[in-house]
Structure 1
Amino acid sequence: MDPWGLTTTALLAGVLFLIFLSLWIQGSKRGKLPPGPTPLPFIGNILQLDFKNITASFSQLTEKYGPIYTVYFGTQPVVVLHGYDLMKEALIDQGDAFTDRGIIPIFEDVLKGQGVLFSQGERWKQLRRFSLKTLRNFGTGKRSIEERIQEEAQCLVDELRKTKGQPTDLTFILRCAPSNVICSILFHERFKYNDEKFLYLMNLLKEDVQVLNSKWVQEKDNPQSEFDLENLLATASNLLCAGTEPTSSTLRYGLLLILKHPEVQAKIHREIDRVIGPHRVPSMNDRQDMPYMDAMVHEVQRFITLKPFNFPHALNQDIQLHQYVIPKGTTIFPMIFPVLHDSKEFHNPDQFDPHHFLEKNGKFKKSDYFMPFSIGKRSCLGEGLARMMLFLFFTTLLQNFTLKSVGDPNEISIKINHVGFTNVPPYYQLSFFPREGIRPS
């Protein structure tokens, strides 16, 4: 045999050996893991997943393999949890084992495990405790934060009055409002919506975060501390981004759904007029007397399921889940979408209907299945702040304005756009007409 033939044969034998080795390694790992589709060598199940709609792909696999199964991203196994019972059993009943964060390469490259969202172990514990304490000190759940949101809601109303009923794209302005609330917490300052510094805020975070971490700058001499400038910068960035974009998208999506359902807007207006009236500033105390508005805000979050599954978790120890033994280090994808769209808990789950959260007598109805902020020890630490912003922004906007669509409401598309691991609202415009009897602020 000529040398070229020997070389080709040797290469082919090497490739086959690597393929068989990969299959053997994956097979040995799968012996402890839940079943799932057979992975290909090196690339795993990537070709079997539609990354334009990963939620649909996972739901199809659930129909075949059940509520807990394994897929491979390359050679790395990922266990998918599908349904309320599994989510509760894993993230609540065995929550201590699920506190590590699964690696997301793009965030790992940028943040390198820093910040409260993507850190692990003791670093995560310290930064989460610090973040929760900071939010409490600045008034989360107290009147001082409520006053900040009320002020920003009135600024938002003033900006929308300037549109004079002309069709408006809300993408920018609804990003400014919640971002300003977070800025007032982090930096003790809100910005005008046309402020040049505000438009480039992300470039200024490194300077402004000194306000947040000034009491910790001695900490560089403590080798056990995670309070260095890089971690606090990343945490501030986490809070700003996580507090801005989800709230902004929920507001945009909610207003679109209200446009699509004029009867919902009419019921909200009647409730606002009865409870608050045209002049008093809405407050969180009003929520207990406004079950329909409260239900509408919950239903928006349920229906759109902004994050179909939470950021991946990772096990910090071996666990048993059902009949499976899942080893330490395994990445876990807890699916939120199937819980928020469970047909046993929500009749017609694919329909937008605030009555999903109302009793027959009209009182608000709580649901354990409502988990847009996830559950467990790595659930969203800003959940209370987000809930407050959504209620006060929605209520203030609908107290002051009647929303009008550009065209026929029946022609409005509410189709969800799947972008990576999130859902985003479609582009649209609407008009804001001041309601009669409302005095300009």
Structure 2
Amino acid sequence: MSAGAQKLREKMSVVESLLQFSSTGTLLGALLFLLVLYLLSSGSESQKEGKEPPGPKPLPLLGNLLTLDLTRPFDTFFELSKTYGNIFQVFLGPRRTVVLVGYKTVKEALVNHAEEFGDRDIVPGFRIMNDEHGIIFSNGENWKEMRRFAISNLRDLGMGKRGSEEKIIEEIQYLKGEFDKFEEKPFDTTRPVNYAVSNIISSIVYGSRFEYTDPRFTETVDRANENVRISGSISMLLYNIFPWLGPLLKDKRIIVKNMIQNREQVMKLIKTLQEALNPQDRRGFVDAFLIRKQNDLKSGKKDSYFHEENLMVSVANLFVAGTDTTGTTLRWGLMLMAKYPHIQDRVQEEIDRVIGGRQPVVEDRKKLPYTDAVIHETQRLANIVPLNLPHMTSCDVTFNGYFIKKGTTVVPLLTSVLKDPSEWEKPNSFYPEHFLNEKGQFVKRDAFMPFSAGRRVCLGESLARMELFLFFTSLLQSYRFTTPPGVSGDELDLKGVVGITLNPSPHKLCAIRRS
């Protein structure tokens, strides 16, 4: 008898004993039934396929949940890699998850094995918001069609080009007006920054910006940001593992309520745009989608992906992704300037010397190497999507000697790339010199991967890079950012608040007008 068969027999013996011991149909019986499933499913079957990645021994039902710091699972994963290596597995409840750690491993998987690691794992929390439609949380032909259409049309609409630059420069003036209202007193940058950044993607998606006083706009942005924050909570992590907990969870009810209200708002905006639709004059992404939908209907195309559900979810995907990540990074940048005033001094000296008092433009980037390095280092250290979004293997794959089954959840740990000690001189410090050579010139770094990589790389990367540069340089040109009176920079911590994205810890800044 093989060792694997012997182990399986021993497990079955334990199961039989437990079933004989349990004579009631109570919760204990249910737990024992689940234990049976666990014991049977964790046998030696997968060993027949090949060598599994190593990892901590899981408990029945709970897996490795007690091993993890659920408030910051990415930190635990980083620590576990020191024991188990750059490819290891953990069990989130009964579900196997493979974690990829470090720049070389993550790049090898996402770029060199893009097809095998290119699917999205659509956990229950994402499913209730997207239902496998749209751009981010879908797979197969639907995902290919939506992503291809989005990239093509957003490019045509000027995303990351001159048209976007003009929109951003216009929005910067509105944001400065909001900052000036605080009259150099301490304020929370969250809402004004998020509204400004959201208006950029709104102008591309809908064809127009919104006033910061428009409650339909501000409430939509606030609800979307709340959902991003709550989606990364412990309760939603547990919901993704044990969906039957859903009815008991307040966070899930908040997400559903916010989602319903935002869908109603989006439907009204789409209906207004549809009533004035002109195929010869596309105002934004929604127009382009509606025109394609009409053309498919006219041609009698069956099984078209251009239907209302994909439009609704795609708009929501673009709106959230185009607001939260860039807004969060920009807020980290302003906070870091207040925390490290000597770095802010060097940025402002360079801006004053190269640009003077005129409006910064994208072309200035190559003449501002230190400022560009500070922006890149902000993105690296802020580490705003530490876990990445979950991937899933599209087929059985043998990767670096380990066998990973089709349908396995994969976490390409971005925090381990952006803070890889073999790639960065000072991985846990704010050190703009990471992106400068000995002559003070800007240098690209291969391990700079805040937008992920491969098939699922952020499609808005060019727009985000443009926004960060223009907003950051324009605000640093006009304001000195400081901590409130009586608060030292040391009190601004770098741990952040964990959601789907990693936000700066709550803080206030003063925006002092520079003469």
Which residue in 2 is equivalent to 1:102? 121
How far apart in 2 are the matches of 1:16 and 1:114?
A: 37
1:25 paired to 2:41: yes
Which residue in 1 is equivalent to 2:401? 323
Which residue in 1 is equivalent to 2:282? none
For the Cα contact (< 8 Å) 2:122–2:138, is it kept in 1? no
Relative to structure 1, the CA distance from residue 411 to residue 87 in structure 2 (aligned partners, 3 Å threshold; closer, same or farther) is: closer
Structure 2: gaps (5+ residues): 1-18, 221-261, 274-285
* One-letter amino acid of the structure 2 residue matched with residue 208 of structure 1: L
Q: How many residues were matched structurally?
A: 431
Match 1:269 to one of 348, 352, 374: 348
SS at match of 2:115: helix
- Structure 1, 329-338 or 29-38: larger mean CA deviation: 29-38
With normalisation by structure 1, the TM-score equals 0.93
How far apart in 2 are the matches of 1:411 and 1:324?
A: 44
Cα-to-partner distance string for 1:82-109 (whole Å, 9 max, x where unaligned): 0111111111111012221112211112
- Structure 1, 320-329 or 391-400: larger mean CA deviation: 320-329
Which residue in 1 is equivalent to 2:431? 353
How far apart in 2 are the matches of 1:284 and 1:262?
A: 25
SS at match of 1:190: coil
How far apart in 1 are the matches of 2:499 and 2:32?
A: 34
For the Cα contact (< 8 Å) 1:302–1:372, is it kept in 2? yes
How far apart in 1 are the matches of 2:330 and 2:336?
A: 10
How far apart in 2 are the matches of 1:350 and 1:214?
A: 47
For the Cα contact (< 8 Å) 1:54–1:421, is it kept in 2? no
Which residue in 1 is equivalent to 2:268? 207
How far apart in 1 are the matches of 2:345 and 2:511?
A: 15
How far apart in 2 are the matches of 1:330 and 1:93?
A: 18
Per the TM alignment, residue 275 of structure 1 is displaced from its structure 2 partner at its CA by 1.4
SS at match of 2:166: helix
Which residue in 1 is equivalent to 2:292? 216
How far apart in 2 are the matches of 1:225 and 1:87?
A: 35
1:190 paired to 2:209: yes
How far apart in 2 are the matches of 1:263 and 1:14?
A: 61
Per the TM alignment, residue 200 of structure 1 is displaced from its structure 2 partner at its CA by 3.3
> Over aligned residue pairs, what C-alpha RMSD do you find?
2.1
Which residue in 2 is equivalent to 1:439? none
* One-letter amino acid of the structure 1 residue matched with residue 146 of structure 2: L
Per the TM alignment, residue 77 of structure 1 is displaced from its structure 2 partner at its CA by 1.0
Per the TM alignment, residue 9 of structure 1 is displaced from its structure 2 partner at its CA by 4.4
1:255 paired to 2:334: yes
SS at match of 1:359: coil
How far apart in 2 are the matches of 1:115 and 1:122?
A: 11
For the Cα contact (< 8 Å) 1:186–1:209, is it kept in 2? no
Per the TM alignment, residue 209 of structure 1 is displaced from its structure 2 partner at its CA by 3.6
1:132-281 matched pairs, under 5 angstroms: 132-201=151-220, 202=262, 203-209=264-270, 211=273, 212=286, 213-218=289-294, 219=296, 222-278=301-357, 280-281=358-359
With normalisation by structure 2, the TM-score equals 0.80
How far apart in 2 are the matches of 1:204 and 1:13?
A: 47
Relative to structure 1, the CA distance from residue 10 to residue 180 in structure 2 (aligned partners, 3 Å threshold; closer, same or farther) is: closer
How far apart in 2 are the matches of 1:35 and 1:7?
A: 34
Which residue in 1 is equivalent to 2:109? 90
Which residue in 1 is equivalent to 2:100? 81
* One-letter amino acid of the structure 2 residue matched with residue 260 of structure 1: K
SS at match of 2:407: coil
1:123 paired to 2:142: yes
How far apart in 2 are the matches of 1:116 and 1:271?
A: 39
Cα-to-partner distance string for 1:119-141 (whole Å, 9 max, x where unaligned): 01100000000110121011023
* One-letter amino acid of the structure 2 residue matched with residue 351 of structure 1: S
Relative to structure 1, the CA distance from residue 175 to residue 58 in structure 2 (aligned partners, 3 Å threshold; closer, same or farther) is: same
* One-letter amino acid of the structure 2 residue matched with residue 369 of structure 1: A
Per the TM alignment, residue 24 of structure 1 is displaced from its structure 2 partner at its CA by 3.4
Per the TM alignment, residue 381 of structure 1 is displaced from its structure 2 partner at its CA by 0.6
Which residue in 2 is equivalent to 1:67? 86
Match 2:472 to one of 372, 394, 407: 394
Cα-to-partner distance string for 1:150-196 (whole Å, 9 max, x where unaligned): 11112111221222212121111011011000111011111111122
Relative to structure 1, the CA distance from residue 83 to residue 52 in structure 2 (aligned partners, 3 Å threshold; closer, same or farther) is: same
SS at match of 1:34: coil
* One-letter amino acid of the structure 1 residue matched with residue 290 of structure 2: S
Match 2:385 to one of 300, 304, 307: 307
Relative to structure 1, the CA distance from residue 191 to residue 23 in structure 2 (aligned partners, 3 Å threshold; closer, same or farther) is: same
- Structure 1, 315-324 or 284-293: larger mean CA deviation: 315-324
For the Cα contact (< 8 Å) 2:34–2:61, is it kept in 1? no
SS at match of 1:97: coil
How far apart in 2 are the matches of 1:275 and 1:432?
A: 22
Which residue in 2 is equivalent to 1:293? 371
Per the TM alignment, residue 29 of structure 1 is displaced from its structure 2 partner at its CA by 5.5
Cα-to-partner distance string for 1:23-51 (whole Å, 9 max, x where unaligned): 23123355242111122222322222111
Relative to structure 1, the CA distance from residue 15 to residue 350 in structure 2 (aligned partners, 3 Å threshold; closer, same or farther) is: closer
SS at match of 2:506: coil
Give me the identity figure in percent. Answer: 41
Per the TM alignment, residue 348 of structure 1 is displaced from its structure 2 partner at its CA by 1.7
For the Cα contact (< 8 Å) 2:134–2:317, is it kept in 1? yes
SS at match of 2:480: strand
Relative to structure 1, the CA distance from residue 355 to residue 328 in structure 2 (aligned partners, 3 Å threshold; closer, same or farther) is: same
SS at match of 2:398: strand
1:419 paired to 2:510: no
